[in-house]
């Protein structure tokens, strides 16, 4: 099936590993020019080289999505090279967990900045180009934990904020033919998640509550990204897709 995204420019944050890296490889395979953006430039370059080795077009970007100057410089780098942005995937994110009474101001600020302020900065940076061309796809990654989870008050608040951000952007940008949608994954088998000492317990509890009794792979999330980026989804905006195997709590 032709997704209608060949030769489009896709900017993917947090693309040096995990879901973001899989997204970069997949979108490149669909014919997109991919900006592989990660705080770790070495990781971004590794993914960029994999894309190029497979015959795709990619550039590596570094910088923090939570720093406005980094965001503006990175987006300008894409515009200078390729002239436009068609797809923005706000995938970068991280947690820094602690019980409420022990959570520091720094933990709160860092997680809110990276998971919520970052997508705002990125959307604001690409919006003028998308508005001028009257076309755009913005895909924000939230989490099932936006519903609430112990010792994650900062992360849950940030990911709930992503839903509000997405819907507000959908309202404002819809008249310009720009769609904004959100994906809320559950536990996904990425290197970072698998390296956690508590992974086996987390995965067991997740599968007990899932309807689909298997672990999620990065490709399961990327398939949702492909749908929201495609030409066939142009009448869908402000939407939330749970990629959790049927687990909602």
For the annotated catalytic residues, the residue numbers are 155
Give dist(CA 1, CA 226) in Å, integer: 12
Both tokens of 16, joined, read 């040096």
Give dist(CA 167, CA 171) in Å, integer: 6
Cα distances (Å, whole numbers) of residue 191 to 18, 136, 143: 6, 31, 17
Please report the sign of the dihedral spanned by the C-alpha atoms of residue 230, residue 232, residue 235, residue 238.
negative
Output b/e per residue, 149-158; b: 16+ Cβ within 10 A. eeebbbbbbb
């Amino acid at each position: 099936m032709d997704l209608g995204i060949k030769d489009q420019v896709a900017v993917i944050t947090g693309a040096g590993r995990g879901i973001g890296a899989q997204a970069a490889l997949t979108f490149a395979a669909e014919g997109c020019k991919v900006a592989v953006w990660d705080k770790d430039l070495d990781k971004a370059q590794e993914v960029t080289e994999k894309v190029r080795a497979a015959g795709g077009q990619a550039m590596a970007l570094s910088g923090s999505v939570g720093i406005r100057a980094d965001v503006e410089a990175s987006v300008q780098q894409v515009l200078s090279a390729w002239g436009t942005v068609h797809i923005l995937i706000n995938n970068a994110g991280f947690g820094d967990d602690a019980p409420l009474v022990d959570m520091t101001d720094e933990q709160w600020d860092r997680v809110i900045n990276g998971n919520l302020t970052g997508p705002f900065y990125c959307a604001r940076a690409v919006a003028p180009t998308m508005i001028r061309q009257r076309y755009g796809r913005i895909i924000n990654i939230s989490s099932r934990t936006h519903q609430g989870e112990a010792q994650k008050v900062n992360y849950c608040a940030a990911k709930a904020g992503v839903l509000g951000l997405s819907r507000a952007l959908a309202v404002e940008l819809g008249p310009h033919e720009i769609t904004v949608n959100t994906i809320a994954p559950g536990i996904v088998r990425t290197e970072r998640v698998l390296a956690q000492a508590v992974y086996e317990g987390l995965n067991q509890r997740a599968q007990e509550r899932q309807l689909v009794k298997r672990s999620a792979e990065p490709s399961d999330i990327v398939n949702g990204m492909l749908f929201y980026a495609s030409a066939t989804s142009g009448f869908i905006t402000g939407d939330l897709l749970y990629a959790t195997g049927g687990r909602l709590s």
